[in-house]
Amino acid sequence: MNRIAIGLIFIYAFSSGCNQSEEVLNIEKWGVYELVLSGPSSGDPFIDVDLSAVFKNNEESIAVPGFYDGNGIYRIRFSPHSRGEWTYKTESNLAELSGKKGGFHCVSPAGQNHGPVKIVNTFYLQYADGSPYYAVGTTAYQWTSVAQSIQLKTLETLAEAPFNKIRMCVFPKSYRFGNDTEPWMYPFGRQDDVNDYSKPNYEFFQNFDLRVEQLLKMGIEADVILFHPYDAWGYSQMGDEMNSRYVRYMIARSSAYRNVWWSLANEWDVPRIKDTIDWEGIGTLIHNEDPHQRLRGIHNWHGSEDHFYDHSRPWITHTSTQTSQFYNAIKWRDQYEKPLLFDEMRYEGGVPAGWGRLSAEKMASYFWMAGLSGGYGTHGDTYQNSADDSTEVRWWAKGGYLVGDSPERIRFFRSVMEQAPVTEMTPDIFDNGDPTNLNTNMYLFSKKGEYYLAYIAEAGQNIEIILDGDKKYTMEIIDTWNMQIVEQKSVKPGVYNFTTVLPYTALRLITEPNDKTPQ
């Protein structure tokens, strides 16, 4: 990693396409400005040294935390969201790190830099510059904790995969199905099975930074999971003081990357962590102290809604669920008034547990159900892959290779959704007039009078759609498994009935341009 040296201060811009000169450093809007300071390495700098900087742009002032990164190196990372001249001044309880001044010029973003993902129209997501973003997620929980060779294979796989979001833990995971290996490196100092939480393993966290940055360059959002209960090393039992210190450390290290989201937990309600971690305190801390205000969620264990965290809490930006009850999506949207992410809706694969043995057809079908119910779906693959012959590797746990057949169908689904005016569409429920008898296999998502998407999971089912307006519609019948349009025709507005011949069928109806009221 190359850096520009200016006395004891080293400055590096992570954003691509930035222009640098001796007079001024140009940083893209939503890029990363990194200030590096040299300071003491003795004692416990992680515990004892406070460091921050105040960045100013005209009347705006933002306090940004810094962090110790080992070997006498201290860093402050900041992502500017406004163009123009930014200045900074450091503050520290150490005189040699305090009062450092400087600045940079924030220029327009370039290339694929569309900014962080933001919420729009209450329920939907898009990039900060207004470009569309449709979340299509996957899961590889501990891929940054496994062997470097597997991490590299995971990146190679992601580069060719259809996913633009990944759920990933900071800490290693201990569980069935090959999750019983030691991490490539421990996050904190460890001797004789005892952790020293005052001494982060900086190489571990530097590797995590690198992986997040590599995901950013591929256009993939990193949904960073801070805590989880599947722990053989003690990281879920650090206690309130160390939990808060660790979370502040992660904010300082990672928040400046525009692709970072925060997930407080994978399965917060598992009994051994439900009451041992102060979820409300941690969520409030992130809300109050993250200078970049990245998206924040918390994920449940049991699929029933009585295990959901209270997603109406102000520190929660979106509803993160483990469930496949897509027919309840409208209820949850109305209840929480936030984007709904089906972050775990079971996985394609062949493990004995029911949550991990969906067929490829079902996995792909779940994306259509999640999407047309007004939410966003997430994939997983539990098949054993050959990423490392010396250990058991499954994508959902460790990354490596994708084995299942659903990803290409998910790519097709994503292409359909990215052609639709998603942020202007609303879902409808099919209940045949009885709200207690929801049809769980039929979904309709529409911008009434212009654009309709319907999905029917089973053959032989009838769907009735009321086509509003006074223009004809081009209707396409889509075989979602074989990824092709099997029929196309023109239909008039009014009540339209369709009976499926094949399972996994979608309908797309779009108003025809310059069409006059049909006679």
Q: Give me the pLDDT at residue 195, please.
A: 97
Domain harbouring 459, CATH code: 2.60.40
Quick one: 133 and 253 in the same domain?
A: yes
List, in sequence order, the alpha helices (H) in 52-161.
148-160
Quick one: 436 and 315 in the same domain?
A: no
Residue 345 token pair: 């809706």
Quick one: 335 and 270 in the same domain?
A: yes
Q: Give me the pLDDT at residue 302, please.
A: 84
Quick one: 387 and 443 in the same domain?
A: no
Q: Determine, yes or no, domain membership for 370.
A: yes
Quick one: 264 and 147 in the same domain?
A: yes
List, in sequence order, the alpha helices (H) in 428-484.
none
For the chain, percent helix, then strand, then coil, each to nearest 5?
25, 35, 45
Provide the 3-class DSSP secondary structure of residue 448: coil
Q: Determine, yes or no, domain membership for 518.
A: no
Contact 518, 501 (CB under 8 A): no
List the strands of the sheet with 84-92, edge to edge: 4-6, 9-13, 33-38, 73-78, 60-68, 51-57, 84-92, 101-107, 26-28
Q: Determine, yes or no, domain membership for 468.
A: yes
Q: Whose structure tokens read 């929480």? A: 336
Q: Determine, yes or no, domain membership for 25.
A: yes
> Using CA of residue 282, residue 287, residue 291, residue 293, what is the dihedral sign?
positive
- N-to-C CA span, the chain: 68
Residue 193 token pair: 């099975």
The burial of 449, by beta-carbon neighbours within 10 Å (0-12 exposed, 13-18 middle, 19 or more buried), is given as middle
Q: Give me the pLDDT at residue 312, please.
A: 97
How far apart, in whole angstroms, are the C-alpha atoms of residue 107 and residue 112?
A: 15
Contact 209, 259 (CB under 8 A): no
Torsion of CA 500, 502, 505, 510, to 10 degrees: -60
- What is the model's pTM? 0.94
Last residue of a domain, one of 55, 72, 107: 107
Q: Give me the pLDDT at residue 515, please.
A: 65
Quick one: 498 and 432 in the same domain?
A: yes
Quick one: 138 and 71 in the same domain?
A: no
Quick one: 463 and 444 in the same domain?
A: yes
Quick one: 356 and 301 in the same domain?
A: yes
Q: Rg of the chain's alpha carbons, rounded to an integer? A: 24
Quick one: 79 and 159 in the same domain?
A: no
Domain harbouring 403, CATH code: 3.20.20.80
Q: Determine, yes or no, domain membership for 355.
A: yes
Q: What is the DSSP letter of 306?
A: G
Which stretches of 246-386 are assigned E, i.e. beta strand?
260-265, 296-297, 319-322, 340-344, 376-377, 384-385
Last residue of a domain, one of 368, 403, 420: 420
Parent domain of 502: 425-511
Number of independent structural domains in the chain: 3
Q: Determine, yes or no, domain membership for 214.
A: no
Quick one: 103 and 124 in the same domain?
A: no
CB neighbours (10 Å) of residue 213?
16
Quick one: 403 and 471 in the same domain?
A: no
Give me the helix-helix angle, 360-372 and 406-419, nearest 10°.
20
How far apart, in whole angstroms, are the C-alpha atoms of residue 355 and residue 515?
A: 48
How far apart, in whole angstroms, are the C-alpha atoms of residue 362 and residue 341?
A: 18
Q: Give me the pLDDT at residue 303, please.
A: 74
Q: Give me the pLDDT at residue 113, please.
A: 98
**409 φ, ψ to 5°?**
-70, -35
Q: Determine, yes or no, domain membership for 209.
A: no
Domain harbouring 31, CATH code: 2.60.40.10
Q: Determine, yes or no, domain membership for 199.
A: no
Q: Give me the pLDDT at residue 9, please.
A: 33
Provide the 3-class DSSP secondary structure of residue 160: helix
| DSSP run (H or E) holding 214 | helix 202-217
Last residue of a domain, one of 369, 392, 420: 420
Task: Please choose, from the candidates 443, 445, 467, the residue with its C-alpha nearest in 3D space to the C-alpha of residue 455.
Answer: 443
How far apart, in whole angstroms, are the C-alpha atoms of residue 69 and residue 214?
A: 19
Provide the 3-class DSSP secondary structure of residue 313: coil
Q: Whose structure tokens read 């160390």? A: 242
Q: pLDDT tens digits for the chain (519 residues)? A: 333 232 233 345 333 333 343 467 999 999 999 999 999 999 999 999 999 999 999 999 999 999 999 999 999 999 999 999 999 999 999 999 999 999 999 999 999 999 999 999 999 999 999 999 999 999 999 999 999 999 999 999 999 999 999 999 999 999 999 999 999 999 999 999 999 999 999 999 999 999 999 999 999 999 999 999 999 999 999 999 999 999 999 999 999 999 999 999 999 999 999 999 999 999 999 999 999 999 999 999 987 788 899 999 999 999 999 999 999 999 999 999 999 999 999 999 999 999 999 999 999 999 999 999 999 999 999 999 999 988 999 999 999 999 999 999 999 999 999 999 999 999 998 776 666 677 788 999 999 999 999 999 999 999 999 999 999 999 999 999 999 999 999 999 999 999 999 999 999 999 998 765 544
List the strands of the sheet with 221-227, edge to edge: 137-139, 165-169, 221-227, 260-265, 296-297
